[in-house]
């Protein structure tokens, strides 16, 4: 190689090395810090334009990153990515806008779930490692999620050790490969009956390698402009987070049951009531969809006669110039503009911080079933917990039961009883269809007891074609604190939307992959 070509090569190498140059994120005690020594507070948006991977279209990422920067966002959360794809263009676009990535490592086939089979296997480990291999090279990769809403009720507690198995496995792999210590955490359902035990269990073990690096919560408690820190329930969340030994933040936030969304909870999260404990929030979500959580749209919704393709899903265009949804976008923008906590410097904090893991929650019959002293399961170990009863109901969505299907990662239906009457209606015909569905794993006596407890007349709505589509629902018990806001995605991209049930505290998706 001659001198001129060598010089060109070195210049290009230097340019490539600095394209993604942005301070990295790490964990010290219960806080995030940048490599510059500044405390990092998450102001994020959930970003999943397309089902499989939104980080492969560089032009689209550049358009979105520009508007996110105007919004005041410094992070995105992406739920599914293709580990074999090239993400350099999008990651560099977001880095240039000062935006970091929290990425879920699972796929529709590899998510950790409560089942009677292994929850953490060699194949899943390899898949998660591939995601890490791909994204560890980017300075703006802020964290990995090993799971999302895996546990939704106490009956799911046997799955908790598998989350720690995954985290321990991936932390060991990360360190063995010499990668930057990118934090690894979990995104939990905001279920009151489960939250205290799960939150503590994931950080309580004596060996620090068997603890999460951070914990996050999907919470939709603060709805509308009327609630405050006390009445919203945030005072309870804050009480549970006091003295938590790792960073804790909202991985989904932004209730939409009382439009427009005012995002008043941001003043509590980034203000004196919570800022010393919580590390920010990720707002659900960037794109406008049928669920009406979007901050931006890429054009008006189109009718069913328009050809549905990769850029139009459920009638919503998924690429192009993003346009703010009014007034939600500007409401959030104004909140974030006035909320700029500085926190502490890492050197000052590290010199004085003393974090102590909480006691592991005790195992109780019919409640939290995890033995606090039991070793974590290893890769490939079957059976979630020998102590779990055989009749624990499981939730699932089955499409055309006569054929084998790939299960969805979002198969837990948040309802208030094991047996619920579902009414399917349409505004076009006024027809109503009703049926009662119960888990296939329930005994008749259990089903009867569940029916007597009842769902207090909870009703969901959808088109009669739901019944005709051959979808079969089995429900799993969830606490009274949780309710449903479901969307079922079909192969042809049609969508069946189910309205809210009772007072919404959480929203759930059901996605069926053909």
Q: How far apart are CA 61 and CA 364, in angstroms?
A: 48
Catalytic residue, candidates 252, 285, 289, 495: 252
Question: Residue 210 catalytic?
Answer: no
Evaluate the CA torsion angle 50, 461, 478, 491 in order and state its sign. negative
- Name the residue with tokens 């110039």: 321
Taking each helix axis from N to C terminus, what angle separates 160-176 and 122-135, rounded to the nearest 10 degrees? 50
Closest CA to 293 of 245, 323, 329, 267: 329
Q: How far is CA 50 from CA 63, 191, 341, in A?
A: 16, 28, 33
Counted residue by residue, the chain has a size of 514
- Which among 154, 215, 142 has a CA at the least distance from the CA of 185? 215
Ramachandran quadrant class, 320 (left: phi over 0; alpha: psi -120 to 50; beta: rest): left
CA distance linking residue 16 with residue 482, whole number of Å: 48
Residue 469 and residue 433 in contact, taking contact as beta carbons nearer than 8 Å: no
Two structure tokens written together for 323: 């346009």
Contact between 122 and 71 (Cβ < 8 Å):
no
Task: Quote the CA–CA distance of 497 and 57 in Å, as a whole number.
Answer: 28
Give, for 174, the enclosing helix (H) or strand (E).
Answer: helix 160-176
Structure tokens at 202: 């994931």
The answer for residues whose C-beta is within 8 angstroms of residue 4's C-beta and 6 or more apart is none
Q: Which of 102, 304, 119, 110 is nearest to 218 (CA)?
A: 102
State both tokens at 262. 């005012």
- Rounded to whole angstroms, how far apart are CA atoms 465 and 471? 10
- The reply to whether 480 belongs to the active site is no
| Catalytic positions | 149, 252
């Amino acid at each position: 190689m001659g001198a001129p070509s060598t010089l060109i090569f070195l210049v290009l190498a230097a340019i490539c090395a600095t394209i993604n140059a942005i301070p990295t994120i790490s964990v010290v005690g219960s806080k995030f810090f940048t490599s510059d020594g500044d405390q990092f507070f998450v102001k994020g948006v959930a970003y999943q334009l397309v089902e499989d991977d939104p980080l492969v279209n560089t032009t689209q990422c550049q358009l979105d990153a520009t508007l996110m920067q105007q919004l005041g966002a410094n992070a995105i959360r992406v739920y599914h990515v293709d580990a074999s794809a090239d993400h350099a263009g999008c990651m560099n676009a977001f880095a240039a806008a000062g935006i970091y990535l929290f990425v879920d490592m699972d796929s529709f086939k590899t998510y950790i779930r409560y089942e009677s089979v292994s929850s953490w296997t060699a194949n899943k480990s390899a898949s998660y490692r591939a995601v890490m291999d791909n994204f560890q090279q980017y300075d703006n990769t802020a964290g990995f999620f090993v799971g999302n809403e895996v546990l939704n009720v106490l009956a799911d507690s046997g799955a908790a050790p598998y989350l720690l198995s995954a985290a321990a496995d991936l932390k060991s792999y990360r360190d063995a490969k010499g990668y930057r210590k990118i934090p690894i955490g979990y995104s939990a359902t905001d279920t009151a009956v489960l939250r205290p035990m799960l939150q503590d269990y994931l950080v309580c073990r004596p060996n620090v390698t068997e603890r999460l690096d951070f914990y996050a919560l999907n919470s939709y408690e603060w709805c509308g402009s009327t609630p405050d820190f006390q009445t919203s329930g945030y005072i309870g969340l804050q009480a549970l987070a006091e003295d938590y030994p790792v960073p804790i933040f909202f991985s989904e936030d932004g209730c939409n049951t009382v439009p427009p969304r005012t995002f008043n909870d941001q003043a509590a999260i980034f203000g004196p009531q919570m800022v010393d404990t919580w590390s920010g929030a990720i707002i659900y979500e960037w794109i406008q969809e049928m669920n009406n959580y979007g901050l931006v749209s890429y054009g008006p919704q189109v009718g069913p006669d328009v050809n549905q393709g990769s850029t139009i899903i459920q009638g919503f265009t998924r690429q192009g110039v993003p346009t703010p949804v009014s007034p939600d976008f500007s409401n959030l923008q104004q909140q974030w503009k006035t909320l700029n906590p500085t926190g502490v410097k890492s050197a000052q904090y590290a010199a004085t911080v003393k974090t102590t893991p909480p006691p592991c929650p005790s195992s109780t019959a019919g409640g939290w079933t995890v033995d606090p002293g039991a070793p974590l399961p290893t890769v490939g170990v079957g059976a979630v917990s020998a102590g779990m009863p055989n009749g624990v109901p499981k939730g699932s969505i089955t499409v055309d039961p006569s054929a084998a299907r790939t299960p969805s990662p979002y198969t837990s239906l948040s309802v208030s009883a094991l047996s619920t009457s579902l009414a399917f209606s349409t505004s076009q015909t006024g027809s109503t269809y009703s049926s009662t569905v119960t888990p296939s794993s329930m005994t008749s006596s259990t089903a009867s007891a569940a029916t007597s407890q009842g769902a207090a007349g909870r009703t969901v709505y959808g088109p009669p074609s739901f019944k005709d589509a051959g979808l079969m629902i089995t429900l799993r018990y969830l606490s009274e604190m949780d309710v449903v806001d479901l969307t079922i995605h079909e192969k042809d991209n049609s969508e069946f939307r189910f309205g809210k049930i009772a007072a919404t505290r959480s929203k759930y998706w059901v996605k069926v992959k053909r």
